[in-house]
Amino acid sequence: MALDYSHDPSRDDKNLIVHTEKPFNAEPNPKDLISNFITPEKYFFCRSHGNIPNLDEASHKITIEGINITTPKRFTIQELKTRFEKKSIVMAMQCAGNRRDGLHKVKHTEGVIWGPGAVANGIYSGCRLKDVLESIGITEQMGHTATLHVAFQSVEKCEEDECYGSSIPLSKAVDEFGDVLLAYEMNGAPLTRDHGYPIRIVVPGYIGARSVKFLKSIRIQDKESSAYYQQHDYKILPENVGSIDDAENYWSITPAIGEYNVQSFVCDPPSGLVDVPILANAQPVKVQGYALSGGGRSIQRVDVSGDDGNTWVHAELQSQPIAERTSAYTWSWTLWTAHVHVKAGVRLVSRAVDSAGNIQQEFPVWNFRGVLNGAWRTVKPTSVIEEQ
Ligand SMILES: Nc1nc2c(c(=O)[nH]1)N[C@H]1C(S)=C(S)[C@@H](COP(=O)(O)O)O[C@H]1N2
Ligand SMILES: [Mo]
């Protein structure tokens, strides 16, 4: 039966490029995206797989059950707010499909054809999942059992499954420094309906797909989530897999993505090219963008080139101020600015290096689902200046 989207929130869409209305999938334009270090809600991409549920914070409960839990435990939002310490983290939320358009130019990919805006940097506040699990007897020690997973289920029925579901290793959930939150606020205000009201999981350092919105239940289990979004999506299929039929043979033998890879993008100028009048005065051009990496890895350096990667300058980095950090790891993105000499019609590219020395490569290895595109920016091979 078709899903009913008539109760979705009304939206002021003028700030976002809407890919699909039903379900609602939208991203900001690249310049707006980097106009703030903390992304305001109006420029925050939205990724939905179903209609947005209309939940009431006062009556909503989450259930926690599974291995090592004798009877299912229920928590109201009020209990989560009052019984557990509140923690805030600055965290980049990035969809695994961010920049899918780059891979889609190579060959057809399946999914929403995101540009570079399926990423945002938010302040998420809530209680730590670790504290809540500990209160019902799930200890950090149990996280040493590599085979245990924490599966999350949402309220809403989705296009591909009965609800949105996903899982993370228990080791991440109970890691003292892992900062997995049961978040009830974004940017200091209650979550909006589009972003998971009244409660969502946020898993810093991991692809957005693991940060389940409209959370209904948590289950400790000895295997990953059986949800479509853990099993048949968000996996890097090998390059030879080119169709849904081929993929069938690979889903069960391909691991689900957790942490994301090193990433950066030139957001300004938005076309990735500079027009001739600017060139005429032969001044270096100001170039700006974002950079981030998964797993808590920080950005060490961003190189920017105005001559297609022959020469590079080092960008100036704007990272989260050390005094404001609340985490041992880096979950925030880094914004950057560089001044480079450019040639007309030659693309501007950036390449980030993270704290593990991972560096973005020029060419992507295409994959059918178009996930984790961390290759250099491509623009249309033309000397005519146009928006991408
Ligand atoms: N319940 C639910 N949670 C969800 C999704 C969804 O469709 N439903 N989409 C996931 C995906 S793929 C991403 S990238 C993030 C996006 O979070 P945002 O919409 O708040 O930006 O939410 C994740 N959690
Ligand atoms: Mo996503």
pTM of the model: 0.95
- Cβ 48 under 6 angstroms from ligand 1: yes
Dump pLDDT digits (tens) for 271-324: 888 765 555 557 788 999 999 999 999 999 999 999 889 999 999 999 999 999
Ligand 2 centroid from CA 246, angstroms: 22
Helix (H) or strand (E) holding 280: helix 276-280
Mean residue pLDDT across the chain: 93
Helix (H, G, I), strand (E, B) or coil at 318: strand
Report whether pLDDT(231) > 70: yes
Ligand 1 test: best mutation among 43, 49, 114, 182, most atoms within 8 Å of CB?
49
**pLDDT value at residue 387:** 33
Q: How confident is the model at residue 374 (pLDDT cuts 50, 70, 90)?
A: very high
Report whether pLDDT(382) > 60: no
Q: What is the mean pLDDT of residues 357-373?
A: 96
How is domain 263-354 classified at the CATH fold level? Immunoglobulin-like (2.60.40)
Ligand 2 centroid from CA 139, angstroms: 30
Amino acid at 72: P
**pLDDT value at residue 370:** 96
**Alpha helices (H) in 76-145, listed in sequence order:** 77-83, 100-106, 129-135
Judge whether 364 and 106 are in contact, CB under 8 Å: yes
Q: Shortest CA distance to 15 belongs to which of 37, 50, 44?
A: 44
Q: What is the mean pLDDT of residues 200-217?
A: 98
The neighbouring-strand residues paired with 202 are 181
**pLDDT value at residue 67:** 94
Report whether pLDDT(384) > 50: no
How is domain 41-253 classified at the CATH fold level? Sulfite Oxidase; Chain A, domain 2 (3.90.420)
d(CA 150, CA 384): 51
Sequence ranges of the domains in the chain: 41-253, 263-354
Q: Tokens representing 107?
A: 């060959």
Q: How confident is the model at residue 386 (pLDDT cuts 50, 70, 90)?
A: very low
Dump pLDDT digits (tens) for 51-98: 999 999 999 999 999 999 999 999 999 999 999 999 999 999 999 999
Report whether pLDDT(151) > 60: yes
d(CA 5, CA 12): 16
Instruction: Name the closest ligand to CA 200.
Output: 1
Q: What is the mean pLDDT of residues 337-350?
A: 88
Helix (H, G, I), strand (E, B) or coil at 247: helix
**pLDDT value at residue 281:** 58
Ligand 2 centroid from CA 299, angstroms: 22
Report whether pLDDT(334) > 60: yes
- Beta-carbon contacts of 248 under 8 Å, excluding residues fewer than 6 positions away, are none
| Chain-centroid distance, C-alpha 367 | 18
Judge whether 108 and 97 are in contact, CB under 8 Å: no
Report whether pLDDT(385) > 70: no
Report the nearest atom of ligand 1 relative to the CA of 163: 1
- Cβ 351 under 6 angstroms from ligand 1: no
**pLDDT value at residue 380:** 54
Nearest-CA residue for atom 5 of ligand 1: 48
Dump pLDDT digits (tens) for 7-18: 999 997 789 999
Dump pLDDT digits (tens) for 156-172: 999 999 999 999 999 99
